[in-house]
Structure 1
C-alpha cells in the first residue's frame, strides 16, 4: 500500500504505458510503406519506388550534369497507369532479363500484374493490369 502522493503518478504512468506502446507500434507500421527495386538492365542505374498500399510507381537514376563532377539525381514521376490506384498490397518484381529496363508491379491480393517503365525520359508508365 502506498501512502505517498507519488503513488498516483506511478499508477497513471503504468496505465498509460500500454497506450503509448500501441501508438508507437501504429507509427512504426505506417513507416516502411515503400519498396525499392533496381531495374534488371545491367547498364542502367535506375531504381523504381513503389507505394505498397496504393501501387503508385516512380523511378530515379543518376545523371551527369555538365560542368559538375557530382552529377544529379533524375526522378521520373508517376504517369499513365503508374499513379495511385485501388488500395491493396503491391510489390515489385524484376525479371531476370538483363536487357529489361522495367519492372513488374504485382497486386499480391488479386494476382493482377502490370509492367512499369520510364517512357520517353519523362515519366513512369504502367501497362493495364492483367492476370
Structure 2
C-alpha cells in the first residue's frame, strides 16, 4: 500500500510540473527580417526584451549551419514588461522593431559585427516633442507651433 501512495504522489508532482510548462513554452516571439534576400529570424524574450537572431549559413562539404547572433549593445535584458517584434514592410530592411506593448516604446534592432544591437527605446507621446535619433543618441527637437 505504501508503494501506491508514493506512485500517486509522483503522478501529482508530474501533473504540477506539466501545468507550468505551457507558460514557459510561450516566452519567446519570432519574426523574420523583412529584407527579401535575407534568411534571418529575430527572437525576443517577451518578458525581458532581450533580442537575438539566427540565420542559415553555407558551410563547405555540409548541408549548412545555423549562425546565431547574441545580444550586444541595447539588445540585452530591459525592464520587465510585455515585449514583441514587428517587421516593417521595407524589402531592404534587415532589422526589426522591438516594441513594449505596455508603454508603447520602440527601438530598432539589427545585426552589427556579429551581435544584435538595438537603439534606445523611444516613445512619441501626444504631448512629447518629436525626437531625432542618430545612431544611439536621441536628440530632442523643439515642439512645432
- Same fold by TM-score greater than 0.5: yes
Shift of 1:87: 0.7
Bigger Rg, structure 1 or 2: 1
CA RMSD of aligned residues (A): 2.2
Q: TM-score, normalised by structure 1?
A: 0.80
Aligned residues, how many? 119
Structure with greater contact order relative to length (CA < 8 Å, sep ≥ 6): 1
Q: Is it true that 1:43 corresponds to 2:37 in the alignment?
A: yes
Aligned to 1:128: 120
Q: Is it true that 1:114 corresponds to 2:107 in the alignment?
A: yes
Shift of 1:31: 1.6
Shift of 1:32: 1.7
Q: Which runs of no fewer than 5 residues in structure 2 stay unpaired?
A: 124-145
Alignment of 1:79-94 (within 5 A): 79-94=72-87
1:86-116 deviations in Å (ceiling 9; x for gaps): 1111000000001000000000001000000
For residues 96 and 58 of structure 1, what CA distance do their matches in structure 2 show?
20
